[in-house]
Amino acid sequence: MEDINALTGRIIGCAIEAHRLLGPGLLESIYESALCVEMESAGLKYQRQFVFPVSYKGKIIGECRPDLRRRRRGCR
């Protein structure tokens, strides 16, 4: 398994490359799409816009939808 610091460096490198090429001032969704392109090019698997429940004291109180989640295997 890849060292967490090395993995973090690869992901940050993908984000920097996407922002470097696009520049500032675009919509978040554009940067998210560019990051996905960079992560695919780097061979990093991810899941986009997945939903998971948020619980509080044993009760579901809502849901969360992060932009991306790094995956070790399975989905893109």
- Euclidean distance between CA atoms 52 and 27, whole angstroms: 24
Q: Check residues 71 and 32 and name the one with the higher pLDDT.
A: 32
Each residue's pLDDT tens digit, 1-21: 668 899 999 999 999 999 999
- Euclidean distance between CA atoms 5 and 28, whole angstroms: 25
Specify whether the CB–CB gap between 67 and 49 falls below 8 A. yes
Each residue's pLDDT tens digit, 40-58: 999 999 999 999 999 999 9
What are the residues whose beta carbons fall under 8 Å from the beta carbon of 61, sequence distance 6 or more?
54, 55
The 3-state DSSP class for residue 47 equals strand
